[in-house]
Structure 1
Amino acid sequence: MKTKLLLSILLATAVTPAIAKSLQSLSDQELSAVSGQALLTLQYLQGTSQTDSTGTTYNQSNIGFYKLGLEAVMELNANINKLALGCGGVNNSVRASSCDIDIDNISLSGLPENANYTSDERAATSAKITNPFLQFAIKNPNSAATREVVGFRVSAEKISGLMTLGTENSATPNGINTFSGYMKTKTASGTAVTSQRTMTYGDTGLEIKGKVKGTILGIPTTLDYTSDNYSLTLSSTSAPFTINSTVVSGTRLKDVVLKGSGTVGQIDFSGPLTADVLGGLLPLQKNVTGNITGLKTDITVNQNLGLIHALYLNNPASLSLQSQKILWPSAAVAANQGWWLAMEDEVELGSLSPTTQVAITNEVLKQTIAGINKDLTDNPRDCGRILGSCVFSGDLAVGNIPMNTTTLDFPLTNLTLQGQNFRSNCFGGMKFC
């Protein structure tokens, strides 16, 4: 503590010589009776063998970490037009003609008080940076002949604020071009709305099969049918889903894979179907109606990082450069060689609901046919007189087809997300300033 206090006194003396004239020197005994908080702190941490969150162990016993910290809470509102670090260089083998970090139009402000904040309100706030510090990683710190700086980082114990990337939340990626670093997103949820579409044999390449029951000359009969001639209109429906907490970590990343699960609301269907009955001896021509319920989904979202725009921060963060892989103190994973941006605690992404309707692909439809056929076969629908209205006219009310045991692989690509909407950090409504 005496060292901290002396450093503070020396700093005050250097910065404000007028005030220094009134200062009185103190003996060691007098200093020992004084307590206080230093503005600057110096710390040394000897590296050890440590294991990161991935289970990888790093022996850093030959590295010393020197830290110069500022014991204060700083406020900052800033806009950076372009952040490009580590372009070309040692990581060109990962992605050539690129940068370790390449981000356009970065803004840092305070957290908005409500979801309907304006640009002017945001520009009037500041992010809070608690205890910022500069840290050096020195290899062989005890040897004057071989000691070497192998890394440095600018960091803080916590940054609380809103960081936005790019100028707009649209279908066109903007903001993050490449990212090297570590980020972990919080579990998030949303609701997708699927668009209406038509399902035909040409879409699936699969026949619809089932059974109908009725009478022939008054005798109860059950007949098989198969159809490769159908055109069913599938209604739009809602599909709530949850995306699991996801780690984004690596060098020169351009996209991220998000995994989750969900359910699909009731899908109504209707349309003409022509089927073969009795091996093709009789044609079954019907307008079928019904609905599908209970579909579950395994969701995979392949998301361009340029569609991630709003990061709600309340966590330690750092920007570092290292000539070798280094597990910095308190970091979740080791930083790769080159430039590295790390946000240590989970980051809030907001609502993951897409802003536009999601298309049901042919591959998704193919996965439903087996379940549809099983229900239509196990539970024959009533068709009336086989040689009368069943075959030659009328509707076939299929009714409900429960698919509670069916889980669809539901791939999504490059969603424009509602939770990534943001206001600019500028007065007067400018996109960037």
Structure 2
Amino acid sequence: MNLRRALELLCVITPVISLIPISAYAKEALQPLTDTELSDVNGQALMSMSYIAPNDAANKMSGQGMGFYKLGLEAEMELNANIKKLQLGCGGMNGAGGCDIDIDNLSLSGIADTRDGRVGSSAKLTNPFLEFAIKNPNSASQREMVGFRLSAEKALGLLTLGDENTDGPNGINQLSGALKIKATTGTAVTAARSMTYADTDMKINGKIKLLGSLLQPDFDTNDYNLQLQSTNANLAINGTTIYGTRMESAKLTGSATISDLNFGGDINASVKVPLISLLPLTINANGYISGLRANLDIDEDLGFIHKLPLNNPFSLSLQTNTVHWPGAEYAANRGWWLAIEDQIDIGQVNPSNPIEVTNDILKQVVPSISNYLTNNPPNCPLGSCLIAGLNIGQVNLSSANPLYFPIKDLKLATQNFAPNCYGNLKFC
């Protein structure tokens, strides 16, 4: 929908409103009131109009010749709606091959976690309004409308996107706008896996105590097979603003504290012993890695975000150029634009599936293990570790640099939601 079509729609709606007979709402006989009686009467207009001049202090585009006209409804509106397919700005000013906004199965209701609760409730829009951005408002010959905005001073309700929380993305296909994500926490589980030279292309080296402190030969090996067990990771996700045109994914950052990571397996080492030169040993090693920290880099498809509790201002706008609307923290890009001004709480980030420990992550761990085994040689009296195994014990990596832990497309456990439908339908 372009600006011309939007204005045509407004021209159709306005006469309909003006035809509502005032007499239908007035008493048949009006009664005069004294000045004293009038002083006890309070009232408020249903409609309000305001104007922000180009050089007004409240104008975030001051000095750019942009004025803002606002028509507001001083009321609270309730709305429960399902939209099967919302597409705005497909092709158009931002180019072919996409849409400014493309969302499947959008539902707006009151805040509830059950079907009956959602169907039987409505979102509340406090003081909804329509606003126009007019360039050169004081010049009849150069006056130009560059955008309009549908908004409300506050929206309270539950907005859901897609039909259900699955292992694959659904709901948001493309989004233009600004959404502020609140900082949050969560817990993930790492997947168990093996660690071999083929995975890392890196040797493990260090020292072993064969005769206590008297004999501590060096070793290095590319022949090892250690099994890493699954463990927990406590996540801390930074707050961020998702901002841009035709976005398909969100970039989130954070940190993780990884619980003790148990390992066990064989290390086939060539130990450098004086007089013997090389002593081949097959070490049955076991222990655990502690103090692992990681910097998270999460590339999250927007189709995994399904549940947005609203308790904040919001707006949907269309503009031919970048417009910084009054009260908005971020300027809106050209085309259709959705903005939710206050932070959205997406709940705890608890991935439903284990997080894969990639080879790139293992490559960051190996040097720290080698450094630890060099500075803290495990005790292995000559020959005994061949029989009883070598208990490496704790490999404390708390002083090591945090790992770089890239994560992609997490299914979020807290993004489950009830459909806004009776019966068993996922969407209606």
Shift of 1:17: 2.5
- Residue 53 of structure 2 is matched in structure 1 by 46
Asked if structure 1 preserves the Cα contact closer than 8 Å seen for 2:58 and 2:326, the reply is no
Q: In the TM superposition, what are the counterparts of 1:305-344 in structure 2 within 5 Å?
A: 305-344=302-341
- Out of 362, 365, 373, the residue aligned to residue 362 of structure 2 is 365
Matching residue's letter, 1:235: Q
Once the two structures are superposed, residues 204-240 of structure 1 have per-residue CA deviations (whole angstroms, 9 ceiling, x without a partner) of 111111111123xx99311111111000000100001
Q: Flag the structure with higher strand content.
A: 1
d(CA) in 2 for partners of 1:224, 1:51: 71
Matching residue's letter, 2:419: S
- Out of 253, 268, 279, the residue aligned to residue 274 of structure 1 is 268
- Residue 421 of structure 1 is matched in structure 2 by 416
d(CA) in 2 for partners of 1:214, 1:167: 63
- Residue 207 of structure 1 is matched in structure 2 by 203
Closer, same or farther in 2 for the Cα pair 1:194/1:307, shift >3 Å?
same
SS, match of residue 278 in structure 1: strand
SS, match of residue 382 in structure 1: coil
Asked if structure 1 preserves the Cα contact closer than 8 Å seen for 2:207 and 2:373, the reply is yes
TM-score (norm 2): 0.90
Shift of 1:369: 1.1
Matching residue's letter, 2:370: N
Shift of 1:394: 3.4
- Residue 237 of structure 2 is matched in structure 1 by 243
Once the two structures are superposed, residues 240-274 of structure 1 have per-residue CA deviations (whole angstroms, 9 ceiling, x without a partner) of 11111110011100111100012000110000110
1:75 equivalent to 2:78? Answer yes
d(CA) in 1 for partners of 2:236, 2:124: 31
- Out of 131, 134, 139, the residue aligned to residue 138 of structure 1 is 134
d(CA) in 2 for partners of 1:72, 1:81: 28
SS, match of residue 220 in structure 1: coil
Deviates more, 1:229-238 or 1:143-152: 143-152
- Residue 4 of structure 1 is matched in structure 2 by none
Closer, same or farther in 2 for the Cα pair 1:249/1:60, shift >3 Å?
farther
Matching residue's letter, 2:415: Q
d(CA) in 1 for partners of 2:392, 2:329: 54
Q: Which runs of 5+ in 2 are unaligned?
A: 1-16
d(CA) in 2 for partners of 1:30, 1:182: 51
TM-score (norm 1): 0.89
Shift of 1:69: 0.6
Closer, same or farther in 2 for the Cα pair 1:21/1:160, shift >3 Å?
closer
d(CA) in 2 for partners of 1:24, 1:426: 47
Shift of 1:189: 1.0
Asked if structure 1 preserves the Cα contact closer than 8 Å seen for 2:54 and 2:61, the reply is no
- When the two structures are aligned, how many residues end up with a matched partner? 406
SS, match of residue 225 in structure 1: strand
1:166 equivalent to 2:162? Answer yes
Matching residue's letter, 1:15: P
Q: In the TM superposition, what are the counterparts of 1:169-188 in structure 2 within 5 Å?
A: 169-188=165-184
Shift of 1:61: 4.3
Shift of 1:193: 0.2
Matching residue's letter, 1:295: L
- Residue 6 of structure 1 is matched in structure 2 by none
- Out of 373, 384, 388, the residue aligned to residue 389 of structure 1 is 384
Matching residue's letter, 1:236: S
d(CA) in 2 for partners of 1:354, 1:198: 22
Deviates more, 1:185-194 or 1:61-70: 61-70
d(CA) in 2 for partners of 1:429, 1:320: 35
Closer, same or farther in 2 for the Cα pair 1:50/1:191, shift >3 Å?
farther
Q: In the TM superposition, what are the counterparts of 1:22-61 in structure 2 within 5 Å?
A: 22=28, 24=30, 35-48=42-55, 58-61=61-64
SS, match of residue 97 in structure 2: coil
Deviates more, 1:248-257 or 1:275-284: 275-284
Closer, same or farther in 2 for the Cα pair 1:227/1:51, shift >3 Å?
farther
SS, match of residue 100 in structure 2: strand
SS, match of residue 383 in structure 1: coil
Shift of 1:141: 1.1
Shift of 1:47: 3.0
1:66 equivalent to 2:62? Answer no
Asked if structure 2 preserves the Cα contact closer than 8 Å seen for 1:13 and 1:19, the reply is no
- Residue 5 of structure 1 is matched in structure 2 by none
d(CA) in 2 for partners of 1:104, 1:50: 40
Q: In the TM superposition, what are the counterparts of 1:369-380 in structure 2 within 5 Å?
A: 369-380=366-377
Closer, same or farther in 2 for the Cα pair 1:272/1:300, shift >3 Å?
same
- Residue 8 of structure 1 is matched in structure 2 by none
Shift of 1:23: 6.4
1:90 equivalent to 2:93? Answer yes
- Out of 346, 350, 365, the residue aligned to residue 347 of structure 2 is 350
d(CA) in 1 for partners of 2:254, 2:115: 33
- Residue 157 of structure 1 is matched in structure 2 by 153
d(CA) in 1 for partners of 2:213, 2:346: 63
Closer, same or farther in 2 for the Cα pair 1:332/1:166, shift >3 Å?
same
- Out of 214, 224, 228, the residue aligned to residue 222 of structure 2 is 228
Once the two structures are superposed, residues 268-299 of structure 1 have per-residue CA deviations (whole angstroms, 9 ceiling, x without a partner) of 00001101112872101111010001101100
Q: What percent identity do the matched residue pairs reach?
A: 48
SS, match of residue 89 in structure 2: strand
